[in-house]
């Protein structure tokens, strides 16, 4: 049994300046102010349209992430409709196969320390799940049958693409203090990446 931390990576890098310029070009069509485009005008223009709530303009750009999280978090993630998702399948992935090392991987709950009794109960439960999953497979159950005992804590990988407006909406909801702690943990990692790459679009969140 493996226990790991969740992680987020930008699935493909992009030229942040080119993204900003594209959004500015799109937005200035609305106001017929293309003549005002300068080498350094994109940031001020974009901060202005965000401040005014004219966020449809930023739908012209998107970002993709590869996220490793638990199945419960992925279920919250896919509730956001204006996005594309490709997720590790528990139906087709055989966790007894060599590439998985013949063991299950679980995401460490962020709300318990390792010396907490609740963490010990969780860890023992995951060990039992792994033992029984492997036993089901050894007894001839197919992966799609054995997966019926797999818990929310099972590690999953999901490739996510959202346009920047939907990312703003997603991050406002999922970085808020009321968000589920594990969902918030992942969303804050995404926000850190986006604030670094595109501060004019995301540094007002959180």
H/E stretch holding 144? helix 143-146
**Burial category of 133 from C-beta neighbours within 10 Å (exposed 0-12, middle 13-18, buried 19 and up):** buried
Residue of 28, 108, 174, 184 marked catalytic: 174
Note if 174 is an active site residue.
yes
- Phi first, then psi: what are they for 78, rounded to 5°? -75, 0
Residue 108 and residue 149: Cα distance in Å, rounded? 18
Count CB neighbours of 86 within 10 A. 12
C-alpha–C-alpha distance, residues 156 and 105, integer Å: 9
Closest by CA position to 20, among listed 194, 204, 162, 192:
194
Q: DSSP letter at 154? A: B
What does the chain come to in residues? 206
Rounded Cα distance between 205 and 184, Å, is: 13
φ/ψ region of 96 (left if φ > 0, alpha if ψ in -120 to 50, else beta) reads alpha
Q: Residues with catalytic annotation? A: 174
């Amino acid at each position: 049994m493996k226990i790991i931390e969740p992680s987020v990576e930008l699935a493909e890098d992009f030229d942040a300046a080119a993204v900003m310029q594209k959004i500015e070009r799109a937005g200035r069509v609305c106001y017929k102010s293309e003549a005002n485009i300068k080498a350094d005008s994109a940031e001020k223009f974009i901060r202005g349209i965000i401040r005014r709530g004219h966020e449809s303009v930023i739908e012209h750009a998107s970002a993709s992430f590869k996220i490793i999280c638990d199945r419960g978090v992925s279920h919250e993630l896919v509730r956001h409709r204006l996005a594309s998702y490709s997720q590790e399948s528990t139906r087709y992935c055989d966790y007894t196969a060599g590439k998985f090392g013949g063991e299950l991987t679980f995401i460490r709950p962020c709300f318990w320390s390792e010396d907490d009794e609740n963490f010990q109960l969780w860890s023992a439960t995951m060990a039992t799940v792994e033992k029984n999953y492997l036993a089901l497979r050894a007894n001839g159950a197919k992966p799609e049958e054995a997966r019926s005992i797999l818990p929310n804590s099972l590690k999953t990988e999901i490739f996510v693409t959202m346009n920047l407006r939907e990312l703003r909406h997603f991050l406002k909801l999922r970085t808020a203090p009321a968000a589920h702690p594990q969902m918030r943990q992942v969303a804050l990692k995404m926000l850190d990446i986006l604030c670094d790459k595109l501060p004019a679009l995301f540094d007002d969140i959180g």
